[in-house]
Structure 1
Amino acid sequence: MPYSIEHENDHFARSYEARLLMSRNLISELPRFLGRHPSSLLDIGCGDGVLLEVACNHGLRCAGVEVSPNLLAKLRARFSGRAAIASDVNMLPDGMYDVVTLISVLEHVHEPYHVLRAALSRLVPDGVLLVNVPNSAGIPARLYGPRWDQIEPLAHLYYFTARTLSLMLERVGLRVIRRFTMTCRMDLARHDMLSSFRRAAYWLEMYLGTDLGFVAQR
């Protein structure tokens, strides 16, 4: 079930600052994930284009895919001449991107296997795919159970654990090489007990929180 225009606009406005910080963190980590400095990035499900904006500002050749007509029109106006914007990943060429990202996308699609296959096809031979989804085996999911805020029956069609996501990536021909999180370091900078635990887990690469991220390579 698609979100309403009002819901989309409200979500992206309320979450902008946190997503901007997370996007900057992610782009800064790409050389470590890829093993070299990337020159190109494709963001599938790019939303309002925050990650694309940060990537463009770092000098990457960028492309984005978005299915929402509301967001698509804004993206094309915003990135005219700066990034290729498409409504379907199959409109973009194969084997062209060092990095392909699927951030908060796979849980929404009807056929995640086919989306991963299409993403894989767009990578250069040594490129990396970054997939991030809600972590249905994380501590928040276990604590809250059916009250977990990521349970959205009309919007989240699939729920992943580290095992199920890694098996799906392997099935399409990708090898998981590391974990990552989109956890906002602004939240990690707080000084309460929970944030101290999150901070320790973050630096130890114990990803037990709301999101689950994999870096995968051919």
Structure 2
Amino acid sequence: MNYDNKPDHYYSKVRFEMLKYLPDHATKILEVGCGNGCFGELIKKDNNKEVWGIEMMPEEGEKAKKVLDKAFVGMCEDFINDLPDNYFDAIYFNDVLEHVYDPYALLKEIKKKLSDKGVVISSIPNIRYHNQMTMFLWKKDWKYEQHGVMDFTHMRFFTGKSIKRMYEEAGYVVKTNEGIRRTKSLKPYLFNILFLFTQMDIFYLQYATVASKS
């Protein structure tokens, strides 16, 4: 899969909206898909935390090594055994699990790296976002793009319901599973009128999920 054609901001975008899901007790954090380390660097700066990262792209991973406490460069699955067991209070997957061939197996494996009160935190695109619903329901199309919900590098597509089920089937207890990055468009309201306001999830570009191992 070719990630070289991504926009310039793809590996350096700070997900500020995901900071609120970090538990107060968390002191050791791992970010899978850390890009150049900008998100982890922000956590370290504001909270004085220990932050590790894993990044697939070599150039970005080398940048992450300079700002994080420790960073691995390569596929996440290749470094599972290098991570200490029962260590991390929080493991972030910001827009990562949809790029993984088998995210279900990865979540099961990474669970043993969590501390007793540790959580996995993820953001995952919502395939039921109103733009996508319009595309395949009304336009009868399924068109891939350079980034976004229909990113051509996505291996999996999720709804809010399927995200929750994935975590539960991997043995987690889901604490939070909520839509984020709500659209300001009026189009979802028109869609909901047709379906008696039973499709409120289409307002949200992504879902943020927090799950513990017990």
Fold-level similarity (TM above 0.5): yes
| Amino acid of the structure 1 residue aligned with 2:150 | I
Matched with 1:178 is 176
1:104–1:134: 8 Å Cα contact kept in structure 2? yes
Partner Cα distance (1:181, 1:74) in 2: 31
Q: 2:157 aligns with which of 150, 156, 159?
A: 159
CA separation of 1:140 and 1:90: change in aligned 2, threshold 3 A:
farther
2:18 matched to which residue of 1?
A: 26
| Match in the other structure for 1:61 | 50
Deviation at 1:12, TM superposition (A): 3.1
Residue 131 of structure 2 aligns with an amino acid whose one-letter code is P
Show structure 1 runs of 4+ deviating over 6 A.
none
Q: Do the aligned partners of 1:132 and 1:211 also contact (CA within 8 Å) in 2?
A: yes
Residue 167 of structure 2: aligned partner: 169
Pick the structure with more helix per residue. 1
Partner Cα separation in structure 1 for residue 120 and residue 51 of structure 2: 15
RMSD of aligned Cα (Å): 2.6
* Post-superposition CA distance 1:162-183 (Å, at most 9, x none): 2222111111110111124553
Aligned to 1:2: 2
SS at match of 2:181: coil
Does residue 209 of structure 1 match 2:209? Answer: no
- 5+ residue gaps in structure 1? 198-205
Number of corresponding residues: 187
Aligned to 1:86: 72
For 2:176 and 2:155, locate their aligned partners in 1 and report how far apart those are by CA, in whole Å: 25
Q: TM-score, normalised by structure 2?
A: 0.76
Q: What amino acid is aligned across from residue 3 of structure 1 in structure 2?
A: Y
Structure label with greater radius of gyration: 2
- Provide the C-alpha distance between the structure 2 equivalents of 1:137 and 1:12, rounded to a whole number of angstroms: 22
CA distance in 2, matches of 1:143, 1:115: 32
Determine if contact 2:179/2:205 at 8 Å carries over to the other structure. Answer: no
Q: 1:181 to 1:55 in 2, by over 3 A?
A: farther
- Name 2:36's counterpart in structure 1: 48
* Deviates most, 137-146 or 62-71: 137-146
Which AA in structure 2 matches 1:62? V
Instruction: Give the Cα–Cα distance (whole angstroms) in 2 for the partners of residues 193 and 173 of structure 1.
Output: 37
In structure 1, what is the Cα distance between the partners aligned to 2:30 and 2:114?
Answer: 9
Assess if the C-alpha contact under 8 Å between 2:21 and 2:210 holds in 1.
no
Aligned-residue identity in percent: 25
